[in-house]
Every structure is written in structure tokens, then in C-alpha cells.
Amino acid sequence: MGSSRQNAVMARLCDVVVDCERPASLARFWAATLDGYEVVAYDEDEVVRLRSIGVEDTEDDPSVLVESPESRVRFWFQRVPERKVVKNRVHLDLTSVDADGEATRLVALGARVHDDQPNEGLLVLSDPEGNEFCLLRSSPRSP
């Protein structure tokens, strides 16, 4: 990078927001998928806030947070009225030391396999709501 970028104030990735139908269940899927991530626990203040907007059960929470103490990047799952109908414009690439074993685990969690591309070294899957992501079978590649 050039020196002008080193001194510039730049944006930093903070949150990845996923529009979905069922935030609580999709948040649990991704918390179980990503190493070190968990659904943020509800404290009493949050339960009171949810009740004030008419949400009695956290399963109906319209916006659920998943985070990791080791990562700055958080994942928000927010309810939207429309269903997903086309391919994602952005997706996650995941790695594992045992891609085949991890694929089996992800399918057991609710993922679906869409396309196995062994020549490309990746497996294309989708989460329970149809959001595509890739599991890399080899070293990360350039997009």
C-alpha cells in the first residue's frame, strides 16, 4: 500500500448483517458453524426492551447477535419480510483442517450441499435459509 493510505482514516469491518426470516434459529446455526462464536446471551435489560416492543419470547427476537471474543467481526441476524429469492451477492468462505468432516458436520446442523467443485477446491453449501457459503478444501484462493 502507498504511504497516503497508511495515514488515512479508513473504514474497518464491524458487523456482517444477514437478512432472514427466523433470526434466532439462523443465529444458532452460524454460532455452531463458526469456531469461537456464540449467540449473545440475553440480559434482563434486553428482555425488558424486547417486551416493550411486543416480543415476549427471545425466539421471536427480530435481531439476534452472534460474536466471538477473539474477533472484531460480529454477525447480526435480522428479520425481514421478504424471502431470499436469488443468489447471494456476498458470501462467506470457510476453511477447516478436515473439509470433508466439516462438511458432514455442517449438513448435520442444517446446511445443504449445492455444488462440489473439486477442481476449484471448494464445496458450495447453503445455510438453513438458503444463504450460500463455501467450504474451501485447499488453501484460500484468490476470488
120 lies in the same domain as 76: no
Model confidence band, residue 126 (pLDDT cutoffs 50, 70, 90)? very high
Give pLDDT tens digits for 16-27.
999 999 999 999
State the Cα–Cα distance between residues 72 and 87, nearest whole angstrom: 27
Burial 56-68, CB ≥16 within 10 A → b, else e: eeeeebeebbbbe
Asked if residue 63 and residue 95 are part of one domain, the reply reads no
Indicate the number of domains in the chain. Answer: 2
Q: Which three cell numbers mark 27? A: 443465529
Residue 20 is given by DSSP the state E
Q: Which three cell numbers stand for residue 103?
A: 462438511
The span from the CA of 79 to the CA of 38, in Å, is 19
Which DSSP string do the residues of 98-135 spell out, in sequence order? SHHHHHHHHHHHT-EEEEEETTTTEEEEE-TT--EEEE
Residues 93, 76 share a domain: no
pLDDT value, residue 93: 95
Give pLDDT, residue 89.
Answer: 85
Domain that holds residue 98: 88-143
pLDDT at site 41: 93
Q: What band does 143 get if pLDDT is binned at 50, 70 and 90? A: low
Q: pTM to 2 decimals? A: 0.86
